[in-house]
């Protein structure tokens, strides 16, 4: 298995610091202002809103209302919160610009801004800039487990798995209850074909979070590579039960029914469910290092090719596939 080339596996990423706490100025966050008429009231409204579009609007108004007496640190918070909202909407260039401004306004307390800007750079596949920002965030706060975890994620995407594991180790050292760090370390061990270590980490992630659908799915996929078919099927079914809208476990059940049972009809049933829900990594169906390994003898049949053609539109799924932690 190789990282992003594996269709039915995941990496999880944590973007911490979603909404920063308002700093000085006596702002009482629980008490929401009736109208957005000042810097303070607009920030409160933005803080309380769940919709990123609304948070952008409120924080933009807050920045417009800002006066010197409100302080640069609080203005930095407004930029930070708006930047995070832009990130949620995948407007990463705008997010980076706002994190830039937050860092400029409050250079003494910005490790979260460096971390979140690193996430935005990673989303844009600018990995060198992402890692540089994570490095700076760690320099400012060496005890932040989330930053080590996110840097490990970037190293995963660069296929530098030893470095990724070192960062996940540090994240776990700082936070022994960090389920995502165990999960992603398991992913990295998978890529290094250290399957026993991978399974042990997925076990730990599941122990910490029994509802962790992705961990069941990945553990099942590892079991499939080890030809432990019954265990693989059990995990795929559990992942599917925990998240019935996720296309991934359906596809893995298709892998199971062909690789382990050579049952074409049932495999097709599961693959069609996966494709209908938003499967979008078509090339891996023919990749020997990924799902193509399990689909030999099936993926070259006219029926399978017709099924792919039915759902593939310009290389993309009909419905966007969900990604963990994004």
pLDDT at residue 35 in the model: 64
What pLDDT does 33 receive? 40
CB-count exposure of residue 72 (10 Å: 0-12, 13-18, 19+): middle
Q: What is d(CA 262, CA 268) in angstroms, rounded to the nearest whole number?
A: 11
Q: Which of these, 239, 315, 242, 314, lies nearest to 9 by C-alpha position?
A: 239
| Residues 30-73 pLDDT 10s | 343 446 889 988 988 888 888 999 999 999 999 999 999 989 99
pLDDT score for 12: 56
Q: Read off the pLDDT band of 4 (50, 70, 90).
A: very low
Task: Tell me what the mean pLDDT of segment 256-276 comes to.
Answer: 97
pLDDT digits (tens, 9 = 90+) for 23-32: 334 433 334 3
Asked if the model's pLDDT at residue 312 lies above 60, the reply is yes
Q: What is the pLDDT of residues 198-231, one digit of tens each?
A: 999 999 999 999 999 999 999 999 999 999 999 9
Rounded CA gap, 94 and 49, in Å? 20
pLDDT at position 167 over 70: yes
pLDDT band for position 288 (50/70/90)? very high
* Amino acid 36: pLDDT: 81
- Pair of tokens at residue 270: 């599961």
Averaging pLDDT over each range in 2-11, 74-83, 307-316, which range is the top one?
A: 74-83
Nearest CA among 160, 122, 158 for reference residue 134: 122
pLDDT at residue 326, as a whole number: 36
Burial class of 306 by CB neighbour count within 10 A (0 to 12, 13 to 18, 19+): exposed
Q: In whole angstroms, give the CA distance from residue 204 to residue 183.
A: 8
Q: Which helix (H) or strand (E) holds 8?
A: none
Q: Domain-by-domain residue ranges, the chain?
A: 3-230
Q: List the structure tokens of 28.
A: 């009482």
Mean pLDDT score across all residues of the chain: 87
CATH class in words for 3-230: mainly alpha
Give pLDDT, residue 313.
Answer: 78
pLDDT band at residue 188 under the 50/70/90 scheme: very high
């Amino acid at each position: 298995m190789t990282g992003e080339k594996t269709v039915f596996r995941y990496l999880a990423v944590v973007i911490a610091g979603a909404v920063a706490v308002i700093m000085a100025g006596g702002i009482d966050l629980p008490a929401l202002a009736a109208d957005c008429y000042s810097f303070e009231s607009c920030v409160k409204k933005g803080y309380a809103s769940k919709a990123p579009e609304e948070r952008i609007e409120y924080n933009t108004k807050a920045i417009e209302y800002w006066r010197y007496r409100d302080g640069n640190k609080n203005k930095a918070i407004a930029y930070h919160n708006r930047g995070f909202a832009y990130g949620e909407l995948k407007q990463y260039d705008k997010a980076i610009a706002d994190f830039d401004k937050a860092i400029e306004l409050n250079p003494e307390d910005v490790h979260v801004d460096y971390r979140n800007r690193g996430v935005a750079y990673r989303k844009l596949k600018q990995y060198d800039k992402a890692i540089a920002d994570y490095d700076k965030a760690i320099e400012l706060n060496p005890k932040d487990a989330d930053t080590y975890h996110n840097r490990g994620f970037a190293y995963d995407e660069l296929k530098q798995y030893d470095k990724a594991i070192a960062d996940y180790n540090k994240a776990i050292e700082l936070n022994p209850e960090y389920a995502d760090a165990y999960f992603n370390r398991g992913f990295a061990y998978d890529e290094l074909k250290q399957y026993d270590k991978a399974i042990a980490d997925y076990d730990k992630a599941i122990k910490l979070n029994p509802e962790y659908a992705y961990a069941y799915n990945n553990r099942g996929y590892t079991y499939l590579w080890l030809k432990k078919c019954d265990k693989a099927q059990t995990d795929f079914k559990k992942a599917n039960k925990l998240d019935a809208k996720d296309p991934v476990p359906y596809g893995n059940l298709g892998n199971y029914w062909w690789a382990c049972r050579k049952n074409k009809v049932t495999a097709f049933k599961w693959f069609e469910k996966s494709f209908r829900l938003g499967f979008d990594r078509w090339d891996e169906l023919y990749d020997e290092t990924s799902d193509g390994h399990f689909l030999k003898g099936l993926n070259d049949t006219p029926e399978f090719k017709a099924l792919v053609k039915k759902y593939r539109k310009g290389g993309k799924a009909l419905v966007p596939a969900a990604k963990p932690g994004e």
